[in-house]
Amino acid sequence: MEEETRYFYQPDLTGAIISWCWTFLIFIAGLVVWLEITHFQWITAVLFIIFAALVFFEVKRRTVLVTPSKLTFSRLLQKDYLVIPLADIRQPHFTKHTMTMTVNGEVLSFTFSQRTVNRLADLLRRQRAKGDH
């Protein structure tokens, strides 16, 4: 049986900024409605609840499932997962908190914790060493 490990991630910087800006726009809309009406309304509560739910899902739903043969990225609003076989990863580049790789000519970048980046780098090194023999 394959060993599976799950890690949390955020998309590349541009995608993360856009996603979080849209999320905070809902919060700001709730705040504006609240201040315009001068007392707390049900619509304000709904907007704040939507904001809280989106924040929860943006943090907890973005996970990558790592197996010895592939990486499976779950996404926030898409039901199709991004599945990347480890053999298809070209030019992996790791920094303190990011992993950038080329897959089928497309450059993908993800943000992880430092510990996760180190583990993924080790996994790819082992995979390459195994493939060389």
Give the number of residues written for the chain: 133
The 8-class DSSP code of residue 61 comes to T
Gap between the Cα atoms of 2 and 9, Å rounded: 22
Which domain, by its residues, includes 87?
5-132
Gap between the Cα atoms of 121 and 103, Å rounded: 16
**Mean pLDDT, to the nearest integer, of 19-25?**
93
79-122 pLDDT, tens digit per residue, is: 778 888 888 888 889 999 899 999 988 899 999 999 999 988 98
Q: What is the pTM of this model?
A: 0.76
Look up the CATH number of the domain holding residue 43.
2.30.29.30
Q: What's the pLDDT at 133?
A: 54
CA angle in degrees (0–180, nearest 5) for 81-126-101: 45
Beta bridge partners of 99: 94, 110
Distance between start and end Cα atoms, the chain: 22
Number of compact structural domains in the chain: 1
Q: What's the pLDDT at 1?
A: 42
Rounded to the nearest 10 degrees, what angle do helices 13-37 and 42-60 cross at?
A: 160
